[in-house]
Amino acid sequence: MKIAIIGVGNLGYSIALGIVGQSDIDVESLYLSKRNTSTLSLFEHIPNVTITSDNLEAVKNSNVIILAVQPGQFDNVVESIKPVLDPKQHCIVSAVTGRNIEHIENLIGKEYPIIRSMPNTAISVSQSMTCLSANKLGQENINCGKQIFNSLGKTLYIEEDLMQAATVICASGIAFWMRLIRATSQGAVQLGFDAAEAQELAMQTALGAASLLVKSETSHPEQEIDKVTTPMGCTISGLNEMEHQGMSSALIRGLVKSYEKINEIKN
Ligand SMILES: NC(=O)C1=CN([C@@H]2O[C@H](COP(=O)(O)OP(=O)(O)OC[C@H]3O[C@@H](n4cnc5c(N)ncnc54)[C@H](OP(=O)(O)O)[C@@H]3O)[C@@H](O)[C@H]2O)C=CC1
Ligand SMILES: O=C(O)[C@@H]1CCC=N1
């Protein structure tokens, strides 16, 4: 694959890190394009990686075009690369929030494979949960997206009308889980651990909890909770207090609030 990432900011940079750190993807070349390339020095001496501020050069020399600019920058960027787009050469993979497939087709035409993707920043460590949807040609070429995103975590193909919800759960979800881990660290410091120890305890326990579900056959959180909550013990006391304080409710309401906000972004 010859890949171009157009817009190498928070997300594009994470995708680039994932791609260069992953030997499972057969990448012949990787173009990283943004206006100010000084932030890309980490990639300077990596074989097959070209850093450029020329989007047209990146697109001409690639066949998978990953778009990772801000929604407000998207239309101008797509219009500017349109003259060098070729439906026989290019598969378009957009990671841009709130710009749906119909919108992209209206900009470039229906004759392109278009894959809409929603990765998260854990793609930099090959642990993204990436949701994908596609137009008809994109579905026929879905392997070009799956080859990349399956190597950098897991993928789920979804109907496009679930993409906003997927963004909240998976992409914003990184921030939500970080805050839960941070709050656990703060509690651990109050209970006597130093900051570094506290973070290690919080991180590894979060990883362990998720791994139990990923690896077990039963895969239901409440079954794992039952194993830990000794009758009249400390776990159930703490857990019930958290629920009295609205933990599940706060999380669900936060997810719904994010969803309401993302739906305010106009196509
Ligand atoms: N951050 C996240 O976790 C996630 C973000 N997203 C989506 O990904 C998209 C990008 O988000 P994020 O990475 O946070 O945003 P950033 O602002 O960090 O990145 C956007 C990048 O685009 C570059 N850019 C802007 N204009 C151009 C242009 N004309 N040509 C080439 N590059 C350009 C900017 O660099 P420069 O100014 O140097 O050109 C910048 O590095 C958004 O649509 C967001 O909704 C999706 C999932 C997760
Ligand atoms: O917060 C946002 O709007 C974007 C979409 C998902 C992650 N960042």
CATH number at residue 133: 3.40.50.720
Q: Is the pTM of this model over 0.90?
A: yes
Q: Do residue 196 and residue 74 come from a single domain? A: no
Question: Which stretches within the chain are classed as H helix?
Answer: 10-20, 55-60, 71-81, 101-108, 136-140, 142-151, 163-166, 173-190, 195-215, 221-228, 234-244, 247-262
Q: Do residue 122 and residue 154 come from a single domain? A: yes
In a domain, 165, yes or no: no
- Ligand 1 pocket check for 71: Cβ under 6 Å: yes
- Ligand 2 pocket check for 167: Cβ under 6 Å: yes
Taking CA atoms only, the protein residue closest to ligand 1 atom 40 is 9
Given 159, 181, 202, the domain boundary residue is 159
- At 90-136, the pLDDT tens digits run 999 999 998 999 999 999 999 999 999 999 999 999 999 999 999 99
At residue 221 the predicted structure's pLDDT band, cuts being 50, 70 and 90, is: very high
In a domain, 180, yes or no: yes
101: containing domain:
2-159
Q: Do residue 54 and residue 117 come from a single domain? A: yes
Q: Do residue 145 and residue 196 come from a single domain? A: no
Given 159, 194, 217, the domain boundary residue is 159
- Ligand 2 pocket check for 171: Cβ under 6 Å: yes
Per the listing, tokens 């990448």 go with: 27
Q: Do residue 21 and residue 89 come from a single domain? A: yes
Given 90, 125, 159, the domain boundary residue is 159
Percent of the chain exceeding pLDDT 90 equals: 93
The count of domains in the chain is 2
The whole-angstrom separation of Cα 264 and Cα 95 is 18
